[in-house]
Structures are given as structure tokens and as C-alpha cells.
Chain A
């Protein structure tokens, strides 16, 4: 692959001139694209690890919702939770939230990268642009799931015992959710060049989606309009399976189960968990495709 050639030192040549190392750069193809995915992912990991403050601040928001809001409302809500602690009920919501905000920040790095020029270094590289987008999304999903695991560690504080099955199931769902949000964020970041505008948009989109998803309230007995919006919200189909996985750990009375975990129905049809997960995966796939398509044209 490589040969070393020596070259006579030219007249007035400087002392630093060693024999050049000939490099034959690898050809294009799926290997090159895979390398692109890997190296973009690695960079996300390095940068996340450097930014300890971000790890802490992204954790703060779900914890505030869980313990401050959940703790404060527990008294007045106790009539409707059939004996289940409100914090226990909100725990799956907090698991989704932890992932949501971190994934959003990961996508925001595209805006930074453009601002500081690094995006161009990636765009001129001899790899497909799709592999850069994919690396970003996988990176965002990894980082966000790490945050999700930190929140998951708090389970005993809200009366949820650990089990391997729950951890594995929730982690997989968090990965998928984070991937979808990062892809959505990257898609938006291609259009928006200003950080403030990007963050404002994400807040404007993500907060309502979070509230509508049922992360903080049960899906039973909702007003009609709220029920319709809830069913249209892609987050619903990630939050509900996470809640099912967590509540499998707890002995619920049939009444509590009916009140807190009614499941999702489409026109009266009980949507199986597998279909719900498929909905999230489909959304993630569409967002990723749009993001890649936009990156190609950028």
C-alpha cells in the first residue's frame, strides 16, 4: 500500500525535510462510509465526555419534573392514582425526558459545527454525506441513552425495583427515541443557522410534544381533542412502551392498571406494543431520510 521514497535534498533545503511518506488513500465504498459513521460517532463521544456540565444540566430537568413537580402534586393527585405514588407514575416520563433533552442538544451541535466551520471539514471529505448524518444520529442516541441510564438508576427512589429485562427494554426504547429526536434535530439544524433560533424552535416543538405524549398524565379519560392530539404525537408511542416496561415491575391492582395504563387505542383498536415501537421506528426512519436528503443538497 505504501512505499517510502527518498528525495535528494534540494539546494538550500531545510533540515526538517524527512523522506516523504507516500500514502495511498483507501478507495470509496461502503467501508469508507462506515468509517465516516464511526469517526463522527467517536467525536460525539469525546465531546460529550469533555462537557461534564452538559451531563449534569441535562439530568436536572427530568429530576425537577420527577421530584419537584411529582412530589408537589402527589397529595392532590393521590385520589386518582389508585394508591400508586405519582412519582412512580411519572418515572417513565422522566426516563423519556432525560433522553429528549440530551438528544436535542446533540443535534444542536450541527449548528455549532457550521458556525465554527467544522461542518465544512466533514462535507468535503470523500465519504457519503449520509454517513455523516447517520454518525451524528447514532452519536446523539448513544449519548442520550447514557443519560437515560443515569435516570434509570434512580428507580428504587420511586419504588420501582430493577430487573435486567426492564433495563434492557427501556434502554432499547430510549435509543430509538433518542435517534428519532436527533434525526429531527439534524433535519431542523440544516435549515436554521442561528443557535438561538434553533433552541427556540426545539423548545417550541419538543415541550408540547412531551406534554401531549402522556409522559406526565395517564391516557385514560382524556377530553376528545387531547386524545386526538395525543395519538398524533410520535412521542406517545415511545413513552407508552417505556411505561409498560416499568410497570411490569410493580404489582398493580386491576383498577390501578385500568386507570394508569389503559394502553393506546386507534378507533377502538388496542394497538399492540410491537406496532407502537414500529411507529417510532418509522418516524425515525423518515426523519433520518429527510435529514440525509437535506444534507446532500446543502
Chain B
């Protein structure tokens, strides 16, 4: 599905590489989280997968990048339109502003793909439900709250039924209930439709509970690529920008106090923590 080999990238007028020697393979149907400090290269990596880097940004790119068999670094996002969907961090970058209602906004991409009207309505209904926006279809996109706009941005991409869904901190404006809805929706997409998901996210509690794999970036490099229970238990002194879930912190503190044997693996999720402390 995705193959990067020795990818290096620098934005125009920047001295520092944004991506440094990235080698990464992602298989169809995987749910992969990209984590790390702000400025570590998470968004850049996501933009590369969707063909926006280097196509729209310019800069120096080298290495091999294939997404669904396409050379997206050379051919840009048009080569994978309909197959790869990118949800931006800021919903204002996504919402066209050219449409009067939420339904019309979601229809925008489908109209460009010449999808038949009846099929369009059905797909829009599904996207609204998946994003938890039922009943808001006739509102103006600009009458929505920040959290609702973020879910509209998600719905307007999901409705295209991409094979690869790339999401840049899609829950940053959302409350815990909204965040849960988004992660559960993504989980359904991988489970029911086999959609491949690559998501940049700071909320490690949710990453730990839903991702199959966690890629940790630091200064543009991959410093870890492992399942959450291995990738997210690093000591905070070695990964100061990453942090850890409270479950991991509690596990480590209990270990230091001699309350739990040191050979028991540290927990990253609630269910693991329950087992750890039982």
C-alpha cells in the first residue's frame, strides 16, 4: 500500500531536513499512528503520503515513495484522487466555503467524481452518521462549532471512500466524546471496509487503544516503529517530546516503589493497566 525508502525532504528556504532517511512500509488495512513532538515531521510525512509534499510545497525531495503503486512525489495528489484522502488539522483548510449546507459541502468531492445522485445521497448519509453529524446536514458549515467543523472535514473525505485515509490530528478540537466517536469511526472503516489509516495524534491514550502500529518521529527521523505497548512505554527522559499515558506513568511509579514486579510489561491502555495492577 505504502512504501518509503530512504526518503529525505527539506522545505524551501529551510536548513533543517523535515524528513530524514525515512524507510517505512504500511500494508493495506493497517491502522498506523504517527506520534512525536510538534515539529518532528508528522504533518510533513502525512502530506508526502497524500502527494502534497513535495508537489505543492516545493523543496528538495529524494528517495523512493510509492502510494498504491503511484509515484506521488512526482505526480502529486491528482494521481491518487479518490484513492487517498487527507484530513487537515485545521478544518478551515478543508471546508470549501463555496457551499451553503453541510450536505452540499460533503457532496463537493463526489460531484467532481461524477457520482450518480441517488448513490450520492446514500453515501452522504453514511458519512454524516459516521462523523456523528446526523441532523446537521442542512446547517451552514459556518454555523457549526469547531468540533463539528472538524468532523465535517472528516465526513467530506470519508464520503469519497478512499482506500488510504490520512488524518492530521483530526481530534484536536474535540471533546472526549467527539474524540471517541472519531476513533470508533476509524476503527469501523478499517474493520468493515479495510481502509488503511495513517493518523498523526497527540492523544496517546486513544492511539494506544486503537492503533495496530505506532511510528515515533523525532527531528524528522523514525526512532521507533512498533505496536503501541512497545512504542509508547519509553521513559520520558529519553523521549521528552512524546509523553506517555497516565497508565504507563502509574505502572512505572508502582514498579519504582516495589509494588509490582519489574518484569511485568508496562501498560499503555486502561485494560492493560487493570491487568497490570490486578
Q: Are A and B bound to each other?
A: no
Where the two chains meet, the residues of B that have a C-beta atom closer than 8 Å to any C-beta of A are none
